[in-house]
């Protein structure tokens, strides 16, 4: 069997350990995807504030009996959202939103266990290589922090607001994506490379590595900008495309002071920026995928770029459809799900490019290599 050296291990990583670690990462990735989808449903159904207390352990059990349900409804009716978004709510309606938030919190608890239990067992068995110990130890800790951040987000909507803070919602999303990024990157690193891929050696030019990393970074910014659109309910306005209110720049853009706050607190500006970012990153990735057909790239990198281009295109089309239909819940959740899927494809493409990187001059001592060494980064060929 070909030695496994992608992680820079001094010796080949035992195959059985590699398989176990990959299965753990795959289960973690699926768990995060599911949690993000359920979180999207919770947000779109306005269910997130239905549970007004944070009980990490006892909260795993739902109310039992009519008296307990009546108490939960009474607590909910004391917050501003109850008399605004949910004015006149009945017990049956309250139970519907309560169950979604309860399910969301228990999914989050399950994600924490998916990270924590395998980590503890594998650490005790000494099956996590030294090079991965710090990274994988961070996963259960970050998941614990995610739970605390989720409650910090919910608290912002319990007193003076009728919805949670867009800043805290985006931070909550960002930490979830950070956790996902660690799991996806590790999963991709631990893949079993074919003999043909080993024979390819390090053949990803520096310019291509920089381009793929730039595309992944731009996509990450785009997804986070979507968090502000969601937090500000920006998808419910200007449900047209490509113009906004009959204009390129929407009416009401830049009305807040200081000027920079518009990007984070003005729904029109937030949607405008999200549109520009989405179209820009899609165009960028499609150009990379097109030029990758004839570029001197490893086949694994080329395939990853094609997948990246396909998913980000679907995400853009789905986003436009969701906007035009004023964000129906199924499409809104699907748009959020495919956004995370696009980020996953971006991470895989970046990891593949990084894993197959080496000095271009070793394979192709040319003017392009010299330009790379001097810090001049021509467009990927």
Q: Which of 139-143, 168-172, 200-204 has the lowest mean pLDDT?
A: 200-204
- 192, 226, 249: which is the final residue of a domain? 192
What domain count does the chain have? 2
Quick one: 187 and 239 in the same domain?
A: no
Write the CA distances from 320 to 203, 216, 227, 229, integer angstroms: 37, 21, 16, 14
Residue 109's closest CA among 156, 146, 136? Answer: 146
Residue 135's closest CA among 194, 202, 183, 66? Answer: 183
Quick one: 258 and 109 in the same domain?
A: no
Q: Name 204's bridge partners.
A: 357
Query: Domain limits at 356?
Result: 200-381
| In the predicted structure, residue 8 carries a pLDDT above the cut 80 | no
What would the pLDDT profile of 65-88 be if each residue is shown by its tens digit? 999 999 999 999 999 999 998 999
Quick one: 124 and 12 in the same domain?
A: yes
Rounded mean pLDDT of 319-333?
95
**Cβ atoms of residues 339 and 226 within 8 Å:** yes
Q: Determine the pLDDT at residue 192.
A: 66
Quick one: 143 and 86 in the same domain?
A: yes
SS3 of 190-250: the string is: CCCCCHHHHHHCCCECHHHHHHHHHHHHHHHHHHHHHHHHHHCCHHHCCCCCCCECCECCC
Quick one: 161 and 254 in the same domain?
A: no
Residue 180's closest CA among 310, 301, 304, 25? Answer: 25
User: Please, what's the largest Cα pairwise distance for the chain?
Assistant: 78
Crossing angle, helix 206-231 and helix 166-189, to 10 degrees?
Answer: 150
Place 12 in a pLDDT band, splitting at 50, 70 and 90: low
Q: What is the mean pLDDT of the chain?
A: 88
| In the predicted structure, residue 196 carries a pLDDT above the cut 60 | no
**What's the token pair of residue 214?**
């730039």
- 130, 158, 192: which is the final residue of a domain? 192
Sequence-distant (≥ 6) Cβ neighbours of residue 73 within 8 angstroms? 89, 91, 94
Half-sphere exposure of 263 (CA within 13 A, CB side): 11
State the pTM of this model.
0.87
* CB contact burial 212-235 (16+ within 10 A = b; e otherwise): beebbebbbebbbbbbbbbbbebb
Quick one: 219 and 79 in the same domain?
A: no
What would the pLDDT profile of 286-295 be if each residue is shown by its tens digit? 999 999 999 9
Quick one: 132 and 169 in the same domain?
A: yes
Quick one: 54 and 8 in the same domain?
A: yes
Quick one: 135 and 282 in the same domain?
A: no
């Amino acid at each position: 069997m070909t030695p496994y050296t992608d992680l820079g291990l001094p010796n080949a990583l035992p195959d059985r350990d590699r398989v176990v670690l990959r299965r753990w990462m795959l289960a973690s990735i699926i768990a995060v995807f599911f949690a993000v989808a359920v979180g999207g449903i919770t947000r779109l159904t306005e269910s997130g504030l239905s549970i007004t207390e944070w009980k990490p352990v006892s909260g795993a059990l739902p109310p039992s009996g009519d008296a307990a349900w009546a108490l939960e409804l009474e607590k909910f009716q004391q917050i501003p959202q109850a008399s605004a978004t949910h004015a006149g709510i009945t017990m049956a309606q309250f139970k519907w939103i309560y169950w979604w938030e309860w399910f969301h919190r228990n999914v989050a608890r399950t994600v924490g266990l998916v990270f924590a239990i395998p980590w503890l067992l594998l650490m005790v068995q000494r099956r996590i290589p030294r090079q991965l110990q710090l990274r994988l130890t961070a996963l259960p800790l970050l998941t614990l922090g995610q739970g605390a951040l989720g409650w910090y987000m919910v608290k912002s909507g319990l007193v003076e607001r009728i919805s949670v803070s867009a800043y805290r919602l985006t931070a909550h999303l960002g930490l979830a994506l950070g956790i996902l990024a660690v799991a996806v990157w590790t999963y991709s690193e631990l893949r079993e490379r074919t003999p043909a891929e080993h024979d390819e050696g390090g053949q990803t030019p520096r310019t291509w590595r920089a381009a793929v990393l730039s595309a992944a970074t731009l996509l990450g910014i785009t997804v986070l900008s979507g968090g502000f659109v969601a937090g500000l309910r920006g998808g419910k306005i200007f449900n047209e495309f490509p113009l906004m209110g009959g204009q390129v720049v929407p009416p009401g853009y830049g009305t807040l002071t200081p000027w920079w706050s518009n990007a984070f607190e003005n729904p029109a500006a937030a949607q405008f920026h999200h549109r520009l970012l989405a179209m820009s990153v899609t165009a960028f990735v499609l150009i990379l995928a097109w030029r990758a057909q004839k570029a001197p790239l490893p086949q694994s990198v080329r395939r990853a770029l094609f997948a990246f281009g396909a998913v980000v295109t679907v995400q853009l089309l789905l986003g436009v459809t969701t906007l035009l239909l004023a964000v129906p819940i199924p499409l809104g959740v699907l748009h959020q799900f495919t956004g995370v899927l696009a980020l996953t494809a971006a991470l895989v493409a970046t990891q593949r490019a990084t894993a197959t990187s080496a000095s271009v001059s070793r394979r192709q001592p040319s003017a392009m290599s010299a330009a790379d060494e001097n810090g001049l980064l021509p467009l990927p060929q």
